[in-house]
Structure 1
């Protein structure tokens, strides 16, 4: 960080989750905005429980091919060294994540399959209960035996275990079960805004106690009902830092790259799935207001204004998630 709180050339900036509905590989062209905003790494969603499991495979195929065709701007990162090298060459490092273990199609071997294709992080449940555990908008069930087996396999291959979108009980079970630190890649504090997608203080403390990191997101519906988005986001960061210290807080903006109509589902099916995964009681008709990647510079300046030490700002902006990745990610063994 420099004296006015701006992101410096030496700062490693890490966005632990960007989500959007895959339509075509060319959607990734918008990732140039991340690099222009001073971000060095972003994890891009390739699928979630709302979609058929095969959609993740289709997205991975398209995205990997597209990234290989643009080596002047992007690097498909498998290690933290790849991220550092990409930053040094002025390129954006990209890896993938999956939101919900339905993408496994009930097959434990798919964990290793996805890891080899660049998926470095997977949250186990997306809003609604599935084969591995409970979702935040469903019955608060815990991990199933299959869910425990999935976590063991994720630990084995080096995939980060992510508790965002999971139910309270399932998230706590995950942290007891995993031998590697568990993260919340993009979750805000329920103590500040009472939404089912946000997490309670005991979840934040359990995550930190296990060595994990919580990534605060920039989704207006989860930040609060009114106020400046940057200040609301900073308030969630403050709350978590006061609870567990800045070494356990990061950023997962959940910026939307492309909100295009789903070309796989009819309008009737889309309404049915929306009601299931995004219950109207929690998701009013008003827009959710997703923060753009450009907000990262405002967050850095805001942390500086609030008196955070430069070392803590660097940790929140990226150092903490880079530490987790360096600890968890493993070389692909053939």
Structure 2
């Protein structure tokens, strides 16, 4: 079984300890997508982070495989290594240039979301007061991502922007790390019709492990499973996955450095709770204990995101 983590965050520093990712491998994961830039980052800052992460991954070929294809993920699993790809949380790192989609793809970025919380050149974010939807630039970005094989992601997007993306994309779209608004009402969580529209593209809704989105800072396995089961009942297990959004010691620094990106709700707890990589076996066991078929659990734990990669990555 391929266990697939669709989104995690290392400190966005070229010298960050990339070997921290090995915690995923030790917990049974086969693949992890690592964020390399988001809304505050321009092209130069993003390239510096990408360069630093790539250098450190290539220095440990005994542990890591930079995944260019879905077959690379399978090969990494077969050889006891961890497959790694990158993602971008926002289109700001494009610097307004659609042609940079191909550049980032060639450097290992396999997923990019259109907006991060607030409006940018591509569309509106989930915390904007006015929802303007996908812009013409955003449509050009989606078309180019479809062309080169980069997965389109609507996590952090506004309602209208996400629905516009689902309609515009010619390839499966994912919501890489979110939760069900019907289970816990937070602006970062997606509504049922957004889940249905995502599934209609052939895509996957990844449930995150961030306590403030699962419940009142509740990062228990049971809280995550409540969101997973709501999604499974609504759109079928074939369209549900995990994007735990585990952050390696960087949340407080980002909140302090970029307060304009985050509403006050992000700071209402002394410490944000996260589901850590080591919880993957417990999540698997809980789903099986609650009567989910092994085939369904295998899909949720990784098979569904792998299917999207097989269809979209070039």
Band the TM-score falls in, shorter-chain normalisation: over 0.9
1:187 aligned onto 2:171: no
- 1:8 paired residue number: none
Q: CA deviation at 1:287?
A: 1.8
How many residues were matched structurally? Answer: 313
- 2:149 paired residue number: 158
Higher deviation after alignment, 210-219 or 276-285: 276-285
Higher deviation after alignment, 163-172 or 59-68: 59-68
- 1:4 paired residue number: none
Alignment map for 1:165-184 (pairs within 5 Å): 165-184=156-175
Question: 4+ residue stretches of structure 1 with deviation over 6 A?
Answer: none
Higher deviation after alignment, 14-23 or 170-179: 14-23
- Correspondence for 1:286 among 243, 267, 270: 270
Residues 25-48 of structure 1 deviation map (CA, whole Å, 9 limit, x = unaligned): 341110110000000000000000
Alignment map for 1:88-107 (pairs within 5 Å): 88-107=78-97
CA separation in 1, counterparts of 2:282 and 2:132?
38
TM-score (normalised: structure 1): 0.90
- 1:36 paired residue number: 26
- Correspondence for 2:288 among 297, 300, 304: 304
CA separation in 1, counterparts of 2:98 and 2:217?
43
- Correspondence for 1:212 among 180, 193, 203: 203
CA separation in 1, counterparts of 2:88 and 2:71?
22
Instruction: Name the CA shift for 1:20/1:137 in 2 (closer, same or farther; >3 Å).
Output: farther
- Correspondence for 1:237 among 222, 228, 231: 228
1:109 aligned onto 2:99: yes
1:253 aligned onto 2:223: no
1:68 aligned onto 2:58: yes
CA separation in 2, counterparts of 1:229 and 1:296?
12
1:128 aligned onto 2:118: yes
Contact 1:195 1:282 (8 Å CA) reproduced: no
Contact 2:115 2:157 (8 Å CA) reproduced: yes
TM-score (normalised: structure 2): 0.96
CA separation in 2, counterparts of 1:113 and 1:16?
21
Q: Which runs of 5+ in 2 are unaligned?
A: none
Tell me the secondary structure at the aligned position of residue 246 of structure 2: coil
CA separation in 2, counterparts of 1:261 and 1:231?
26
- 1:321 paired residue number: 305
Higher deviation after alignment, 305-314 or 251-260: 251-260
- Correspondence for 1:202 among 174, 193, 202: 193
CA separation in 1, counterparts of 2:169 and 2:251?
36
RMSD: 1.6
- Correspondence for 1:118 among 108, 114, 120: 108
